[in-house]
Structure 1
């Protein structure tokens, strides 16, 4: 096995999309949390040195003027969309968890050169802290998948799914898929967040992240049959154990908030995630910029289940 080095330093919540034009598109949370940055390259490795373009910057005030978190770029129904979370301007740093979800769009062939339109807030029917939206299409239906706090449930966020009427509008009420419940999900913070989707061998898999954003951060797994009703929570199974954790002997800590892409061969699934290379964090880990983007192959077992391996090795 080869010891991994960061692909892109100081980029948390990484998302890589390989488009039909053959380009890889990358976005992530930037250390200043002040806007949405894109880059593209012909190869995954090429993203490391690719030019960056800030396609949208937060306003100075208002409901989406602070803490721009976890953007994802998707090509839905003929146009590019970036889904992201943002918070209102804050007077005190401790008042963090006021995020809501928003989207911007462009019809341009190259989203780095496009004129972006602010699409507004994605309404879920619950006016509570929410973030980490992703989308995917399955059996002709576009789905929205995200993390949100629900009144009456302990913790900061659970995972929800809903069909979409269009790329910025839900077509049905949220369906809760999972809550923080296992010991490894409630270390420091009670969260299930950062969902990502990959399909393989007649199943659809959702990875997610849990616990505080330090070395305790880890990834979990849900799965369902591809022909199951994805809006029925009973269709989904949940691993009681994390599937990717810190590798302290190899100086990789808090792997999580992942996404999936495909290698240049068009066949090999690739796991994209962030992690730190040390634990001596001064102050709140959230404000530490050293969550780096890592990429490694995702392997599959004979039983059709994903093998994530050690977060420090390809």
Structure 2
């Protein structure tokens, strides 16, 4: 009986070994390619600054082989191929890099280039430009669905959701504040953000009233701005805050008489955070600004 029992145990062990080998083979055959990201050198091109930031935050920067001109500063100036302006992409340049995946926004082009790429084996992800946190979070989910590190993208989404809640808690305090977003164009003057721009989206996150009465960005005179006399100025500049404020006053000294400068309500946001819509860093900048804004009860 003991011999028979040992024989039976041996047969069961052999069956288990065969089953595990068979199960392992099945997993290799049916496991989706996107889940094997860490096991092969996938090649990614990003021609959207927001997507580039998200890929870097999600731990995927090492898979990038090329980016557009607005993305380099987000990657600690890694030595990657530069594809130039995202609206003027070269199909030949992209195809020569043999990417597996191209990520861009609805504004990438031209259409002739996109048509060539659609006929290739390159997978393309086209993301809507996010002008609110809802769209930004949807874009994060879209990227997460293509990679196997969902936990990292979930973490980013949770952070954006936390920023959104924080802004919602204070937005009602700023609804009567007149604001403007200005792009500092060095010696070329100032460009003011109108409806449908990322600058306008930033003001909406803060809960303020954009004084602009037009769409897109337009050149603006200092006299017109002083007449409007915004209570808050958000300045798009790559300079440090104090330096950017000083440069604005050097070029346009009349601003010193405006309410925003008089009450120390001039804030600086790098325009690179807004070049492709609202980025995660732009939403974080809005949280920082919101904490410094006067509440409705403290306004005259």
- The verdict on a shared fold, with TM-score over 0.5 as the criterion, is no
Structure with the larger helix share? 2
Structure with the larger strand share? 1
Larger Rg: 2
